[in-house]
Amino acid sequence: MDSAILIDRFNKSPRAKNYLAGVRGKAAISVVTRAEVLTGFDDASRRMAIRFLDFFPTLEITKPVADLAASLRREHGWKLPDAFQAALAQHHELKLATRNTKDFPLARHEFVVVPYALETEG
């Protein structure tokens, strides 16, 4: 799961809340997602965010994942965090749940799923 989904949840998006309820026990996050999400919290709120993130299995970056991320970054011109997200999903044969259709257009990437759009998105 990409960080946007979890950030939406922390921002009290009903669509994110419903999506997360539906994938409970089936979804995982990456170390990249964890770091991106925790960046947005001050020390007082950080413990609450960590407790929530700890409900998800966390996928780590290994040498094969790093090598795949480098190839994907070169091929698609992605920023390194996006390349790591894609590499982790592909390496573990998972779908990447994200709202980032700019970098991950659905027509081009079969491993990507966009579970919802925000109310303000067109």
Over residues 71-112, the pLDDT tens digits come to 999 999 999 999 999 999 999 999 999 999 999 999 999 999
Q: The pTM is what?
A: 0.89
CATH superfamily of 3-113: 5'-nuclease (3.40.50.1010)
Given a contact cutoff of 8 angstroms between Cβ atoms, the answer to whether 85 and 30 are in contact is yes
Looking up tokens 């309820």 gives 21
Over residues 26-72, the pLDDT tens digits come to 999 999 999 999 999 999 899 999 999 999 999 999 999 999 999 99
Please name the amino acid found at residue 78.
W
Work out the widest C-alpha separation in the chain, in whole angstroms.
41
> What residues have CB less than 8 Å from 37, skipping those under 6 apart?
3, 6, 7, 10, 49, 53
